[in-house]
Chain A
Amino acid sequence: MKPYVSVEGIARRYGAMTIFEDVWFGIARGEFACLVGHSGCGKTTILNILAGLESPDEGAVIVDGTEISGPSLDRAVIFQGHALMPWMTAAGNVAFALSCRHRSWSRAQCDAAAREALKRVGLSHAADRKPAELSGGMKQRVGIARALALNPKMLLMDEPFSALDALTRGSLQDEVARLVAETQQTAFMITHDVDEAILLADRILLMSNGPGARIAEVVVNTLPKPRTRANLHHMPGYHALRDHVLDFLITRSKDFDAKAPPAGWSARAVPETRPALPLAAD
């Protein structure tokens, strides 16, 4: 059976320069996948291709059996810089998205639903404020509320917390973990924060360094759910998992060579590893 999202051999080239190529992976319905890699390997481009904002130079992305040809309300994006419209209030921003989703809804319906969505991210009190009057964390919460209010089939996140301070980032990560689990949301997220990936992702896709980047490894996160930042680092296997990903980022990401790949590696079927499991069960 095909996964919900199937990325099939996409590539991005600028003239003779290949940023990434031969990238294949799938995301199952209800799965949370994280793409981790260094800057310059084309992570954001891959997310934009999934969003339909850019098209690949080669290959295709199949979602739910259909090749994507452009942006869709079914794939909501949480942008890196919150991307709120500064002339609309928090509720106005969410209501604008809702008015696009539900063309027949009245203004009052959109507004009520927007306030409901803001309530879910704990921002009822700030619904009538403009983005300029909100803190960075609150703005990103509005961005999350805007995406979730659309009730999308899939959530795409481009380093959504990278611009926030550590404390805010932590509480928002927990919140996204909760919201995504509540709604059984299929999600794809880009990050270079290893702990963020381990906290949120069911599967972590590790990308080698660009140019000519590939998906080098796929790490299955076997740590039990629900995971929170408070209990994550006490879980058995957490350190093995973290070390594995960190080792990749520090050394294996630059040593990976698609022309002389490690044994068992092929672009279409990248081997999965489960570093959090004790060796005996592997």
Chain B
Amino acid sequence: MSQKVPFWRAATVSLLLLTVLLMAWEYAVLPVSGGGAEIDPEYAALLGQAAAQGGTTPMPGPSAIWKRLVELMADPFYVRGTNDQGIGVQIAYSLLRVGAGFGLAAIVAIPLGFLIGMSPLLNAALNPFIQVLRPVSPLAWMPLALYSIKDSAISAVFVIFICSIWPMLLNTAFGVASVRKEWLNVARTLEAGTWKTATRVILPAAAPTIVTGMRISIGIAWLVIVAAEMLVGGTGIGYWVWNQWNNLSIADIVIAILMIGLVGLALDRLLGLAANAVAWRE
């Protein structure tokens, strides 16, 4: 497992797999040639050609999806009214919500986690609440959020907030609580004071654990935003996916899945860079 594989080798295998997969997919969705019974043209006019033939919306092949992708990417940021906006605009809405919810969660979770980590009493007192609330699906909060906030856009942000707060809170508390005793003793013998000890010793010591928590949180937030936007509607990539399902634009859904994956990857890499920046080794 730990053996290092040369990059080009792994890349070749990846490309090969991708090619095989795409070709198999393309072949599998090829329209069945010939056949097709004679249809009464009046019946066809009533139902539409495809339906009249008893057909269903065909699964698009990779080439059809590629064509659609090029089309979408030609102008990803167009806005033609509330229900017709480019995929770039939708992703931007989703990112905005994730950013707001995640940012608010960080503002609450990191200082609170700090306190919990430093105070065994607070830790023991808050632990039952955290343990009960943490496993709750964030979407379960949605009705309550809609009822009390009365605004679907802010409710989605709240759902992101509630789902990203737990990993950050727990990781911060854990990181702060497990700062090496000898470093704290150094700070004490230096009479560093609470503020200086917190910012110069505890924070950098716990930073790798805190950033790991943030990385987990942003991953979860990006998972949840799609589901949340399917519920609240209006804008965002989740809403867009649902909208394309209602339009039976299967190619668009596949493209959205790809985009969601790529954006999620980019978010994770971003936090990965932050993790590298605060990492230390003994």
Contacts and interface: CB of A to CB of B under 8 A. Distances in A.
Residue in A70, A72, A87, A97 whose Cβ sees the most chain B Cβ within 10 Å: A87
Interface residues of A, number: 25
A131 B281 CA distance: 9
Contacts of A53: 185, 188-189
B183 A51 contact: no
B160 interface: no
A86 B182 CA distance: 12
A52 B188 CA distance: 9
Given A79-B182, A85-B205, A71 B282 contact: no
A131 B280 CA distance: 10
Contacts of B186: 77, 79, 83, 85
A130 interface: yes
Interface in B171-203: 182-183, 185-186, 188-193, 196, 200-201
A83 B185 CA distance: 9
Interface core residue of A52, A88, A100, A150 (most chain B CB under 10 Å): A100
B189 A87 contact: no
B219 interface: no
Contact of B192 (A79, A83, A100): A100
Contacts of A75: 189
A75 B200 CA distance: 21
A85 B191 contact: no
A83 B196 contact: no
Interface of A: 51-53, 70-73, 75-77, 79, 81, 83, 85-88, 96-97, 100-101, 130-132, 150
Given A85-B201, A86-B282, A87-B280, A97 B190 contact: yes
Contacts of B205: 85, 87
18 contacts: A52-B188, A53-B189, A71-B190, A72-B189, A72-B191, A73-B189, A73-B191, A76-B189, A81-B182, A83-B186, A86-B281, A86-B282, A87-B207, A87-B278, A97-B190, A130-B280, A131-B282, A132-B282
Given A53-B189, A73-B190, 10 more contacts: A53-B188, A70-B188, A72-B191, A73-B189, A73-B191, A79-B186, A87-B280, A100-B192, A100-B193, A101-B190
B204 interface: yes
* Listed residue (A53, A71, A101, A130) with the most chain B CB atoms within 10 angstroms of its CB: A71
Contact of A86 (B188, B190, B200, B280): B280
Given A130-B280, A131-B282, A85 B204 contact: yes
Interface of B: 182-183, 185-186, 188-193, 196, 200-201, 204-205, 207, 278, 280-282
A73 B191 CA distance: 6
Nearest to A51: B189
A81 B186 CA distance: 11
Contacts of A132: 280-282
B183 A85 contact: yes
Task: Pick the most buried of B185, B186, B192, B278: most chain A CB atoms within 10 A of its CB.
Answer: B186
Nearest to B185: A53
A51 B186 CA distance: 11
Nearest to B197: A100
B141 to A, nearest CB: 37
A130 B279 CA distance: 12
B275 to A, nearest CB: 13
A55 to B, nearest CB: 13
Nearest to A147: B189
